[in-house]
Structure 1
Amino acid sequence: MAEHVLAVGEALVDVVRRPDGSTSEHPGGSLANVALTLGRLGRPVRLATWLGPDARGGTVRSWLAESGVVLADGSDGAERTSVAQATLDASGSATYEFDLTWQVPDGAAAGAETLAVHTGSIAAMLEPGAAQVRRLVQDARATSTVTYDPNARPVLMGAPEEARPRIEELVGLADVVKVSDEDLAWLAPETAPLDVARAWVHDLGASVVVVTFGGAGATAVARSGEVTVASRKVDVVDTVGAGDSFMGALLDGLWSADLLGADRRESLRAVPLETLEHLLERCAAVAAVTVSRAGANPPWADELTHTSPDAPAGTGAAPTQDTEEVR
């Protein structure tokens, strides 16, 4: 495969339960959603995941293939495809329960043409795959940018004091981290989110940490300083996959800025704030489309072509009063 991003982690089926009692099934999973976003934005992307030979696995494989996502060898080795139960409240926010297994397939290794390796969420915490992820990330640093999104799932990750050392170990291996304020409130409830991000940059060694604040926007903390952008205003259908589409757009933007690859690590450390601001605005546009429609359904590149900074991406319409929730 030519130059590409390798995403390592879960692909599954989201069973969504809505406040009116209706239920629907959508392919999803944090790392699958990131890969899907990259594929729809026109980037070559490979996903190392763990799917079963069942009907749900077939649905996930078709969904990914339609957006140009290539599965790493061995990604079909599970006995059955994992399921996440997502229960939506009246605002569209989701809480999750999981029935899943995870391990890294044999074909997951990064190579010379892997510009970036992205991981996080369940895949980075659930054994036996989590230990395999950490080894893969350590090896990948020789050739690739490493990006990480903790995307915390407390029901699977245990107490925050148990999860935090493992999360911060991966932060220390990462070049770029995307994390939500909700994740940080769970992980470090007595510390302001941006103070955690600053520590991750200045103490743990990340080049850039982006903190998303739902309708309040997002802030990037870098060695060169900090920059904040506002969220787009849209009618929220649900927030499933919004943070993952933001992450996929961030990788897409870093690629456009020629900041991916181990040989670009020093340039990434010195990234200008103007560049980061541009990247975050693009991420906000992508996430706004995702929350405006049901399920993890990020935009295609041509949906973002004719938007202005003040209009919801993909529509050209005036902003509404309901803000997006990007976590």
Structure 2
Amino acid sequence: MGEALVDVLTGDQGELRPTPGGSPANVALGLARLGRPVRLATRTGDDTYGALVRDHLTRDGVLLVDGATDANPTATATVTFRQNGSARYDFALHWQLSTATTAALHGGTGYAHLHTGSLATALAPGAAQVLAAVRAARPWATVSYDPNLRPTLLDGPEVERPRVEALVDLADLVKASEEDLDWLYPDLGAARAAADWAQRGPSLVVLTRGDAGATAFWPHGSYEVPAVPVDVADTVGAGDAFMSGLLHGLLAAGLLGGDGTRDQVPGRAALRAATRSAQTPDRVPTALRLAALAAAVTCGRPGADPPTAAELRSLAEPDGRRLARNATAPPVSWEDGR
């Protein structure tokens, strides 16, 4: 659940290249390409950019929840790149879910997991709709959250912190970047903040650190996963690809997901049980390596272009292609048969 928009990239000759994006939309696309049935609660405009976004998502199997198109312009993010390939975004967007979309979200169960984050959880009036939907979903679904903060659109850390922490407390799984947490907790530091979050509501908190890899925290321990070396085209959508790979891996391991009925959330119970000791939770490292591999593939090509299951499988196998010279992908189990 969250924003779908168009990333407006500047080409080598100064031309503008519109590319569908938006953090929650990217996660939905990544899950669909990995073979997961996925629906996206979002909004797009009845315009050319909106048609581009809708076609991009549905072509790969993402289903849009009713009411995804309205009269407001489709949101855009103008992207400029720093010398290291990292991206800077300037946004123009309206964020509010339609009555039809909120009715579909609250009108029944039927989904096993709810993911949200980024601008959808921060910008009024839609942020309040998202929070209400998360609270409503918890009796039958697991919840994940990625703050994916955009400081240029936000108030200061002291204002944003309570909003973010309210969603952290409701989530089973949280992923946040080092940049997110350094901004949100300037006097604490990202690693300490992530470890503190793991003492709150989530059973698992994953801190991503770019080419330094990622660290998973749970109430009584932590686990480091290295980044997969890659020749970087740009970093657009890398964190979202990491998120979709992580969700896919944890769902396959039975560590996320409800059964679509009230008071039956087996994935929540399994993840809690797996993270009660200081030992590394069983099956979590495999999901983290899958996430790192998905992020690396996305970094290796322009724009938010997450990998398919076939691409990840070819890289995970011992004789798989190399992402960068003298670098091979870490081993990944494909126990779910995908």
Do they superpose with TM above 0.5? yes
Gaps of 5+ in 1: 1-7, 323-327
SS at match of 1:273: coil
In structure 2, relative to structure 1, the CA distance for the partners of 1:88 and 1:273 (3 Å cut) is same
Report the TM-score when normalising by structure 1.
0.91
CA distance in 2, matches of 1:298, 1:318: 14
SS at match of 1:57: helix
CA distance in 1, matches of 2:29, 2:71: 21
Selected match of 2:325 from 298, 317, 320: 320
Say whether residues 1:56 and 2:49 are aligned partners: yes
- Could you tell which deviates more after superposition, 149-158 or 12-21? 12-21
Confirm or deny: 8 A CA contact 1:227 1:273 kept in the other structure: no
In structure 2, relative to structure 1, the CA distance for the partners of 1:217 and 1:54 (3 Å cut) is same
Confirm or deny: 8 A CA contact 2:231 2:323 kept in the other structure: no
Say whether residues 1:297 and 2:305 are aligned partners: yes
Alignment of 1:1-327 (within 5 A): 8-17=1-10, 21-105=14-98, 106-108=100-102, 109=105, 111-202=108-199, 204-259=200-255, 260-261=257-258, 262-271=265-274, 272-308=280-316, 316-317=321-322, 319-320=324-325
In structure 2, relative to structure 1, the CA distance for the partners of 1:186 and 1:43 (3 Å cut) is same
Confirm or deny: 8 A CA contact 2:207 2:214 kept in the other structure: yes
Deviation at 1:19, TM superposition (A): 7.2
Deviations 1:195-229 (CA, angstroms, capped at 9, x unpaired):
11121111x22110000000000011013521111
CA distance in 1, matches of 2:9, 2:67: 28
SS at match of 2:283: helix
Confirm or deny: 8 A CA contact 2:6 2:21 kept in the other structure: yes
CA distance in 2, matches of 1:73, 1:226: 40
Confirm or deny: 8 A CA contact 2:27 2:240 kept in the other structure: yes
Deviations 1:95-122 (CA, angstroms, capped at 9, x unpaired):
1111100112333416432111111100
Q: Count residues in correspondence.
A: 312
Confirm or deny: 8 A CA contact 1:258 1:264 kept in the other structure: yes
- Could you tell which deviates more after superposition, 115-124 or 250-259? 250-259
CA distance in 2, matches of 1:116, 1:42: 15
SS at match of 1:122: helix
Report the TM-score when normalising by structure 2.
0.88
Confirm or deny: 8 A CA contact 1:222 1:269 kept in the other structure: no
Deviation at 1:175, TM superposition (A): 0.7
Deviations 1:154-177 (CA, angstroms, capped at 9, x unpaired):
011121111111000110111100
CA distance in 1, matches of 2:90, 2:297: 25
Deviation at 1:253, TM superposition (A): 1.0
CA distance in 2, matches of 1:320, 1:184: 32
SS at match of 1:305: helix
In structure 2, relative to structure 1, the CA distance for the partners of 1:78 and 1:244 (3 Å cut) is farther
Deviation at 1:274, TM superposition (A): 3.8
Confirm or deny: 8 A CA contact 1:226 1:273 kept in the other structure: no
SS at match of 2:296: helix
CA distance in 2, matches of 1:233, 1:214: 11
Gaps of 5+ in 2: 259-264, 275-279, 328-338
In structure 2, relative to structure 1, the CA distance for the partners of 1:76 and 1:279 (3 Å cut) is same
Confirm or deny: 8 A CA contact 1:227 1:276 kept in the other structure: no
Confirm or deny: 8 A CA contact 1:50 1:78 kept in the other structure: no
Deviation at 1:20, TM superposition (A): 6.2
Residue aligning to 1:5? none
The one-letter code of the counterpart of 1:296 is: A
Percent identity of equivalent pairs: 48
- Could you tell which deviates more after superposition, 131-140 or 89-98? 89-98
